[in-house]
Structure 1
């Protein structure tokens, strides 16, 4: 039976021979197997009185070819033979599908597979209301009865179907985004370290912000562990660059550092082995990494410091302003010089103190009108202001990163990692 779909009027042409169509017009792809077209309604108009453009395909092969991005909606005749082959008998009448062995909605499922982002309407006889309802459950936006169809009804059905499909896609994207965020949070918890400080009287806090938009991790990395002898080892590092390869290398270096530290390596021996790991794992020879390692004695009053091209930590004590630990005679970044050495310096911490390790993302943000950077001196002043307000631990780190972003005039472009170890016993 011919599908009563509106015939297109002739469209005026420009001098170049191209049709002039309304800018906001919709396009409907009709899939039906009547070779004569069967387009009997004069025209269909959208809500703005723009004519809806029509394309007609006799089977799914033609439909796939005509399914260009400017098609907004598909009207499928459910009487189309199974598979959409458009076959007819010798008299020209439509061949009846084998309903005993064939799923009458198989063609609809094929349409939904080849056009997952398009609104789909189905056309059927009023006697097939149950099958029409099943078509909606399968994935069609709506169904229309062939005997009741006219231009006004079809126009309204197209508009509603397009809007429902847009709403469905938006809802799907929202749900997908929530699932991705949950998955990313679980992945991030797995990639970022859990400090191993059981048995220690030190308090631990950290803040981490990747510089890349929507990234889980950047090239910055950190870790803290306590070895059986009671020594607490802390580390923070920065792989040059901001891509996923650098982030992956940072994770590898962190895991290697933890394994080597728990195996008993420290200071120069540890850094030399980490350089070998970097040289093997880095994607190109230009990649290097800066590193700061601190090993705090079991009594918590002394620490050994090694710097591999990394900014020196900041120490604060009660009643005294925060200051940078000595950083003379530091070694080069990992991966720059073969057979390099990294001297270990002993520093006195005292009874109560806080030790802050950080990456250069915190100090390289802009300040003022954007012509100068915060720098280490600016960071020390900022930390002292927050200490005078009585901030400590997580609150101190959050306030510091937030102020660095504010001074920068927006998000910091580099990765930022900050670790704070504190001891309150005198």
Structure 2
């Protein structure tokens, strides 16, 4: 089996010691590419091309462990083997404690020992890097899980007769956590309040902002605040908590009356919900599409009342559902074609939500580009 060539950087200002290291490597007949630096400054320039550094701690521009600390502080620092004199073994031990892979004593090393030391250092660094990446992945997964629980909580509908279905699908190409969120709350008077929203952008900052807005919305609704005031307060919360100017959020807020025969909805730059009755999509009374949250200070959103016939279903969704691609067309899917797919699925049976999402995903040629959330409210009758 052929041994892989290792790129070694020797940092040594003494020509005699440098020749000794070169001779030892030749003695071991090891496949190395050896380069040399005579100072720490020169080593820093050559560091990115090295897998292992043989570092003498007595350099003209660094003293003691300073050179080790400086090299280890570089991004993606390679494995480092410290070279010490017989009288400096304590310094070698301190170097290992400070982050070096190992130390070797000059004059007590033959070619085979040097070869094993370099290979051990390289493999140990790789193992450490792999463990670090695994820990990072686990931490990111745990953080993502916490954020998703905050964005997509169990609805607070204890004692409510209203049927509710929710779906969430992350953007497949980036696999970054977005800011889509939803929630639903039932109040003692029998009314049910729901929100679905989308913070612009992708990543943990946007997700954290979505969690903040969702929690604020639930608290305001439970406190009995009317939707108009809830939206104005959410706007203030967003402006205070967002991580950069220009960050905005779209939202659709719905209140279903206790008798389940009417609802009021508000739009803050968000797609209009769809009202389904039987196998038909019924036109909603037009609601003024207000500006998104975080755009205009002191903006007043207005809602519209909607009569709900028996057997109604109200579909609220984020724009990830309508921004998928369509084969042979440069335009996005859009609401009109989404309605065509929905009508086809309604004719096929009552369990249409998952097939609808599957068909939209299929037309896109794979996972949707953007996060997608759907909140479906149903007449309990």
Give CA-to-partner distance per residue, 1:197-244, whole Å, 9 cap, x none.
1111234332334559353332x3322111121211112234455577
Asked if 1:54 is matched to 2:36, the reply is yes
> CA 1:74 to 1:203, structure 2 compared with 1: closer, same or farther past 3 Å?
same
Question: How far apart, in 1, do the equivalents of 2:209 and 2:257 lie?
Answer: 29
Asked if 1:215 is matched to 2:215, the reply is no
**1:199 matched residue in structure 2:** 159
> CA 1:411 to 1:44, structure 2 compared with 1: closer, same or farther past 3 Å?
same
**2:219 matched residue in structure 1:** 259
Larger radius of gyration: 1
Question: How far apart, in 1, do the equivalents of 2:205 and 2:273 lie?
Answer: 27
> CA 1:51 to 1:303, structure 2 compared with 1: closer, same or farther past 3 Å?
closer
Contact 1:315/1:355 (CA < 8 Å) preserved in 2? yes
> CA 1:290 to 1:171, structure 2 compared with 1: closer, same or farther past 3 Å?
closer
* Correspondence for 1:404 among 360, 366, 370: 360
Contact 1:232/1:297 (CA < 8 Å) preserved in 2? yes
Alpha-carbon offset, residue 290 of structure 1: 3.7
Asked if 1:37 is matched to 2:45, the reply is no
Aligned Cα root-mean-square deviation (Å) = 4.5
**2:377 matched residue in structure 1:** 421
Question: How far apart, in 2, do the equivalents of 1:403 and 1:201 lie?
Answer: 30
**1:97 matched residue in structure 2:** none
Unaligned ranges ≥5, structure 1: 1-23, 87-105
Question: How far apart, in 1, do the equivalents of 2:259 and 2:360 lie?
Answer: 34
Asked if 1:71 is matched to 2:27, the reply is no
Asked if 1:306 is matched to 2:266, the reply is yes
Give the match's secondary structure for 2:260. coil
Alpha-carbon offset, residue 326 of structure 1: 0.6
Q: How does 1:140-219 map to 2 (within 5 A)?
A: 140-141=100-101, 149-151=109-111, 153-155=113-115, 157-209=117-169, 211=171, 213-218=174-179
**2:9 matched residue in structure 1:** 28
Contact 2:169/2:373 (CA < 8 Å) preserved in 1? yes
Contact 2:252/2:271 (CA < 8 Å) preserved in 1? yes
Give CA-to-partner distance per residue, 1:155-194, whole Å, 9 cap, x none.
4542443243223312321222122211221233234444
**1:9 matched residue in structure 2:** none
Could you state the TM-score of these two structures normalised by the residue count of structure 1? 0.67
Contact 1:331/1:340 (CA < 8 Å) preserved in 2? no
**1:358 matched residue in structure 2:** 317
Alpha-carbon offset, residue 368 of structure 1: 1.7
Contact 2:185/2:194 (CA < 8 Å) preserved in 1? yes
Give CA-to-partner distance per residue, 1:11-63, whole Å, 9 cap, x none.
xxxxxxxxxxxxx772332469x685363353635988554223456xxx679
Give CA-to-partner distance per residue, 1:116-153, whole Å, 9 cap, x none.
83223356799x99999998788554565756633455
* Correspondence for 1:369 among 328, 341, 344: 328
Contact 1:386/1:399 (CA < 8 Å) preserved in 2? yes
Question: How far apart, in 1, do the equivalents of 2:120 and 2:245 lie?
Answer: 58
**2:286 matched residue in structure 1:** 328
Give the match's secondary structure for 1:378. helix
Alpha-carbon offset, residue 316 of structure 1: 3.9
Question: How far apart, in 2, do the equivalents of 1:348 and 1:27 lie?
Answer: 75
**2:253 matched residue in structure 1:** 293
Question: How far apart, in 1, do the equivalents of 2:216 and 2:167 lie?
Answer: 21
Unaligned ranges ≥5, structure 2: none
Give the match's secondary structure for 1:26. strand
Could you state the TM-score of these two structures normalised by the residue count of structure 2? 0.74
Question: How far apart, in 2, do the equivalents of 1:37 and 1:414 lie?
Answer: 59
Write 1 or 2 for the structure with the bigger share of strand. 2
Contact 1:121/1:140 (CA < 8 Å) preserved in 2? yes
Question: How far apart, in 2, do the equivalents of 1:286 and 1:120 lie?
Answer: 46
> CA 1:139 to 1:390, structure 2 compared with 1: closer, same or farther past 3 Å?
farther
